[in-house]
Structure 1
Amino acid sequence: MMKLHIIDETAPLKAVVLGTAESCGPAPKPEEAYDPKSLEHILNGTYPKEADMVKEMDAFAAVFEQHGVKLFRPEVIQDCNQIFSRDIAFVIEDKLFHSNILPDREREFEAIGPILEQIDPNKIIRPPEEVHIEGGDVMPWNDYIFVGTYTGEDYPDYITARTNKEAVEYLRELFPHKTVKSFELRKSNTNAKENALHLDCCFQPVGKDKAILHKNGFLVEEEYQWLVDYFGKENTFEIDKEEMYQMFSNVFSISPEVVVSEQNFTRLNNWLRDQGFTVEEIPYAEIAKQEGLLRCSTLPLIREY
């Protein structure tokens, strides 16, 4: 049996599920888009092609293999977008949570069935139906669990609002020994530059004490300020609206020293190197068109103690 273990975002990675772009189906119709950025590319005729996305994910897989990480992939479902494995499940401590996602994405969870069979079934948890939660909004960080949410009364109007206040309460009950800290995110169904789809679209810790942040992704300035104070101004890399749109905060840590990033993120990659990180640069700009990037494509199972 595989023993799950995730208590933060950056400890040395031992096992991970990386999504797949194989057989991801034709470009969706405008009314089928889940987020404003995909919609923009569908309307412009620039929606990414499967062959390009497969190539990008192969480059990501190669980095994991090079670092000795045990790599799992989902079974391929015909004509189904299975790139973003972070949406369908996430691990906190030794438990894997099965996200309550948009119902037509349930098949994506079934495609990781063979991997789940290696995990104690008592450690696989399906939250109650009223709890809406996706892995992009959940970040275990030692004694904290950071959660992106949207609690406005117009929550049902936003297809981009993925984690509700019931989810925050649910995590508080399950992890009483941790501080569950929630952050209200800015949502837009129509403008990708004004939409933080998940918490990892405007914030992510790197290393042991640093963070990438985008102020406008947060609805409440004090909550943003709390993160700046927690990490320290000198340890935070502030990204602008255009960089958030390019998904600069959605990099992925293989260890406290190694960050996988998109090859075009020059300003960020230079900063990371200045801070002493090894930056593994890969092409991922086509996948970014679907408002998701490196962290979104991964479901970490085990990080070292």
Structure 2
Amino acid sequence: MSDSAEVGETPEVYVESEFAPLRTVVLARSEVGLPASAATSSDLRFLPADSPARSARGGDMRDTDPARQARWEKEREEFRTVLDRHGVRVHSPRLLTPAEKAYAGADGYANFFARDPFFTVGRHVVEASMRFLHRRREVLPVREVIREHVYPADCAYVAVPMPEVAAPDDPTLGPGPFLEGGDVLVLGRRVFVGTSGLASNRLGIRWLAKLLEPHGYTVETVRLHERMLHLDCALGLVREGLLVVCEEALPDGLPESLRDWDRVTVDLEQAGRLATNGLPLSPEVYVTDPVFASVGKRLEDFGVHVEYVDFSVTRSLGGSFRCSTQPLLRTG
């Protein structure tokens, strides 16, 4: 269940940028049922070598690997403790119902990365359109949070069109449109959207531009290396003028508007382990995994306070701190 707002309080929904002070966030649950048959090997190229998704064949992790499940839940609890300490209000999706799990069938199901099935740009809350079959209903357990904290707020709430149905032997999974929150980075009225062939595609980006540009936004496509699932696996905006980036993962280089920013660089192997996927809590505070202490040290040299939480199980599933959260309110 999500945490309730104070009685009589109207929720506020607005995301100014990736690093504006985080006030309200949705923190993902730790729930996944892996597909009965693995995705194509090319679709697994973004996962680390130790990912359970590379070898598992179906079943809820709670049943198939309870020890890993327990460690995963502990990671999320420790992360929530950091969020609480910094005064961030946290909402949580509900768990999937037995009916939802049964309906997913052999495709599997997911309720584990709140960043992707919906996202927030300014006062626009957008339900995404997921490419992988096991993630296409991932927004369902979030809708309770949306009903409580988005419907009453002064904001728009829309959904990307349902993706077209592809032939069973079509490895592309069809034309989409696909648009996922991990690909969307917000910087004021400028929105960057990544595309690698694994998640968001150009049709999804065209849809987002059609939604946002009449409201004064610029939507910019950022091509990604084929091993990057999302843009936030290659690029993180820490504060105005400072970013973390894997330049190898950006075939066209950084977007023009970011090229004069100070940068902490990581290589492709580090990016594959989610080195750029830390989470700014404000322009002064950043959360990352202790395995990336070298990144943290360089950020500290720029005057950023770094908090560390072990997120090794979470990262083994293809996401990290940004992937695990979706802000509803980020504003100074």
Residue 87 of structure 1 aligns to a residue whose secondary structure is: coil
Match 1:175 to one of 212, 229, 247: 212
SS at match of 2:125: strand
Q: 2:16 touches 2:331 (CA, 8 Å); kept in 1?
A: no
User: How many corresponding residue pairs?
Assistant: 281
Contact 1:196 1:202 in 2 (8 A): yes
1:163 matched to 2:235? The reply is: no
CA contact (8 A) 2:264 2:299 kept: no
| Residue matched to 1:190 | none
SS in 1 for 2:192: strand
RMSD: 2.4
SS for the counterpart of 1:219 is coil
- Determine if the alignment matches structure 1 residue 116 to structure 2 residue 146: yes
Compute the displacement of 1:224 (Å): 2.8
Counterpart Cα distance in 2 of 1:259 and 1:52: 23
Q: Could you say which residue in structure 2 is the equivalent of 1:41? A: 51
The aligned residue for residue 329 of structure 2 is 302
Which residues of 2 match residues 116-265 of structure 1 at below 5 A?
A: 116-118=146-148, 119-120=150-151, 123-129=156-162, 130-150=176-196, 155=197, 161-176=198-213, 177-187=216-226, 195-220=227-252, 223-224=253-254, 226=256, 229-231=259-261, 235-265=262-292
Residue 31 (structure 1) aligned with residue 44 (structure 2): no
CA distance in 2, matches of 1:256, 1:38: 30
The answer on 1:75 being equivalent to 2:114 is: no
Distance 2:239 2:183 in 1: 19
In 2, Cα distance between equivalents of 1:127 and 1:70: 27
Read off the aligned partner of 1:109 and give its amino acid letter.
Answer: V
Q: What does the per-residue CA deviation read over 1:113-133, in whole Å, with 9 as the maximum and x for residues that have no partner?
A: 221112238722112234310
Q: State the one-letter code of the partner of 1:123.
A: A
User: 8, 11, 15: which is aligned to 1:2?
Assistant: 11
Gaps of 5+ in 2: 1-9, 57-64, 102-108, 163-175
Asked whether the 8 Å contact 1:5–1:92 carries over to 2, the reply is yes
> Contact 1:86–1:298 (CA<8 Å) still a contact in 2?
yes
Q: Please state how far the C-alpha of 1:273 moved relative to its aligned partner.
A: 1.1
1:145-172, CA deviations, whole angstroms, 9 ceiling, x for partnerless residues?
011024xxxx5xxxxx211112222222
8 Å CA contact retained: 2:286, 2:304: yes
- Aligned residues of 1:3 and 1:94 also touching (Cα < 8 A): no
Distance apart, 1:108 and its partner CA: 2.5
Residues 171-197 of structure 1: per-residue CA shift (max 9 Å, x gap): 22222212211111121xxxxxxx111
Deviation at 1:293, TM superposition (A): 0.7
Structure 1, unpaired ranges of 5+: 156-160, 188-194
8 A Cα contact 1:203 1:211, kept in partner: yes
Whether the aligned pair in 1 keeps the contact of 2:35 and 2:134 (CA below 8 Å) is: no
User: In the alignment, residue 200 of structure 1 is paired with which amino acid?
Assistant: D
**How far off is 1:32 after superposition?**
4.7
- Contact conserved, 1:137 with 1:200, CA < 8 A, in 2? yes
Identity rate of aligned residues, in percent?
25
AA at the equivalent of 2:161: P
Given that residues 117 and 128 in structure 2 are in contact (C-alpha distance below 8 angstroms), is that contact kept between their aligned partners in structure 1? yes
Give the whole-Å Cα distance in 2 for the aligned partners of 1:35 and 1:227. Answer: 32
Equivalent residue of 2:112, what SS? coil
Are 1:60 and 2:87 matched, yes or no?
A: no
Q: Is the 8 A contact 1:17 1:71 kept in 2?
A: yes
Rounded Cα–Cα distance in structure 1 between residues aligned with 2:323 and 2:17: 16
What amino acid is the match of 1:255?
S
In the TM superposition, what is the alpha-carbon distance from 1:95 to its structure 2 partner? Answer: 1.4
